[in-house]
Structure 1
Amino acid sequence: MNKSIWRRAGLSLTAVAVIAGVSACGGDDKKNGAETKLQSGAELTKVLKASYKKTEEAKSAKVEMVANMPKSAAFDGGGEMKLSGVMGWDPMVMDMTMSGGALKDTPGAPEQTRMMWINNIMYMDAGAELAKQMDGKRWMKMDLGAVAKESGDAALQKQMTGGLDNMDQNPAEQIAMLLESKSIKHVGAVKMNGVDTQHYKGTISIEEMVAKNDSLVLEKNERAQLIKGMKNTGVTGYNTQIWVNKDGLPVRTDVSMSTKEGPISMVANYSDYGAKATVTPPPANQTFDFAQVLKEAAEAMKAMKEAGTTP
């Protein structure tokens, strides 16, 4: 299979990972003029639970995300990746423009591309150059469940299909995760992106994250392996921060972690809660199915092995 298809597929999966961990953003973080009394544990829990409810009810928002990953063999297309657009949750929908990351290193790739998410399927505009190799079809369809099934890896299937539920990582879920942190605290009142907010932060361990994530339909030993694998990368936990405005809605969420390859941060600004988030999939005649591409590649490889012509 053409290497550029694989690179775009990797870019899509990287984007999935970013969205699944929807978090961070950039902006100012300045203390308000007057010092404010820090909230007690009971007070901040009450505030964040109320914020969780309001955010869940909002159903959608405009979002600008920035993800930074180390440039290394483990993070193909590392560096800075930006996404902006509209996201809805319960159910998860998305219509975003992406730039940076592996796009910069993929020959023939556009400077930016459009991504859509609906019915647990991601569609990515792979660009005019790749369309020439795919009978003029430029939209790559990526059904994570189908891709996992095609891999033949049972553990991968369970993780990826279970992860589909986890894709609904809206800002409300970020609040829920922060409430699980044993180190959660109220930092104080600050200006964030020109808005008066209350700033909260905490660290969530890998064990807490896995225990909280009910969508990971894994056996006890598989969960232990997942935790061990993540720790082997140098990740022991997630540093999570949230800035909540006077209406009880997150203005910013921020998640960062350290790995052996280098630091990772994922960044998102939220605004216009309740913004319309309607997504229409691309026409079928403009779409190619990545799971089918994988299947055809596997069949071609099998035929080459049988013929003794494996490259």
Structure 2
Amino acid sequence: MKTMYRRAAVAVLGGALLCSTAACGSEPAEAELTPVAAVQRAADKNEKLTSMAYTMSGKVPGEGDVEAEASMSLKPLAMRMTMRMEVEGEREEMEIRLTSDGLYLNGGEEAAAEMDGKSWLKFPVGALAEKGGENPLGGMAGQADQNPAAEAGSLTAAEDLKKVGDETIDGVGTAHYSGTLPFDEVRAALAEKPAAARENTEKTLKRYEDMGVDKLTMDMWIDQDDRTKQFRVRGASDKGPLDLTIKFAGYNKPVEIKAPPAAEVADLEEMMKESAAG
């Protein structure tokens, strides 16, 4: 079960990453922008984003290879993700759903064998932290119910931010930007940001630091409508490499995500209450 919790944490992080970098809009881009202006424009347009579809692939420290496909609504907040990871030499797949009342993980037959035939486990997002208990998903669960749009401008803090060139991704023309972000530089740039943006960014940096990462290399591919077509984040740690690429397939399309049938769900909060009573 602990392995399932860790996999869910990776997925939520992935959702947090893409929220912080995706952008939407239909205004034509200027012929040429400075790297800082181009990245900031994409970050600003993220405020208008209401939903998206994306794929995620790469490596996560301590977890290994990961692949995922997801759809996400930001207004209201909801997410559905199918995720595949290699666990102890075996390829495993799981589904995650985030709704207004909780985070649901489908652990398949293994989970059903431990939970009286119920394959879904429900985490009441934020409830455990509010009660002072240990959250099995770690700090990432706290990000699941937030829109980290304010973090999208982090790449502008990179002193070496540059335009790498023009590239075509899935038939779409994009401008490729890249920069290196030591976390001390990101924190220094936060001084001029609103309090909410500072708090959200600090939470994200803390999650990377928990992985053993203290510096990120970020790459963004921005199309002519100032949308982020692709995003890549890399870092090194003693637990292994962080190297995630997120590719966006659609924006602002209707997304309907429902909780699993109640008969198939084991509620973690209720299980904890029963355990305490026992």
TM over 0.5: yes
Match of 1:125 among 68, 93, 106: 106
Match of 1:189 among 163, 166, 181: 166
Shift of 1:294: 4.8
Q: 1:173 to 1:120 in 2, by over 3 A?
A: farther
**Normalising by the residue count of structure 1, what TM-score does the alignment of the two structures yield?**
0.69
* Deviations 1:69-122, CA, capped at 9 Å, x for gaps: 24xxxx2xx2211110212224432112111243865xxxx9422211122732
Instruction: Work out the CA distance in 2 between the residues paired with 1:118 and 1:137.
Output: 19
Q: 1:158 to 1:215 in 2, by over 3 A?
A: farther
Instruction: Work out the CA distance in 2 between the residues paired with 1:146 and 1:249.
Output: 35
Instruction: Work out the CA distance in 1 between the residues paired with 2:137 and 2:75.
Output: 23
Question: Structure 2: which 5+ runs fail to align?
Answer: 20-30
User: SS where residue 126 of structure 2 aligns?
Assistant: helix
Q: 1:142 to 1:209 in 2, by over 3 A?
A: farther
Greater strand share, structure number: 2
1:159-174 to structure 2, matched below 5 A, reads 163-164=143-144, 167-169=146-148
Instruction: Work out the CA distance in 2 between the residues paired with 1:183 and 1:84.
Output: 32
Shift of 1:180: 3.0
- Bigger Cα Rg: 1
Shift of 1:126: 1.3
1:190-205 to structure 2, matched below 5 A, reads 190-205=167-182
Aligned residues: 260
1:36-185 to structure 2, matched below 5 A, reads 43-70=34-61, 75=62, 78-102=63-87, 105=90, 111-119=92-100, 121-149=102-130, 152=133, 163-164=143-144, 167-169=146-148, 175-185=152-162
Question: Structure 1: which 5+ runs fail to align?
Answer: 24-37, 304-311
User: SS where residue 198 of structure 2 aligns?
Assistant: coil
Shift of 1:176: 2.0
1:19 and 2:24 are equivalent in the alignment:
no
- Residue equivalent to 1:214: 198
Instruction: Work out the CA distance in 1 between the residues paired with 2:67 and 2:138.
Output: 29
Instruction: Work out the CA distance in 1 between the residues paired with 2:6 and 2:141.
Output: 18
1:253 and 2:231 are equivalent in the alignment:
yes
CA contact (8 A) 2:9 2:138 kept: no
Q: 1:174 to 1:239 in 2, by over 3 A?
A: farther
Shift of 1:123: 1.0
Instruction: Work out the CA distance in 2 between the residues paired with 1:153 and 1:114.
Output: 23
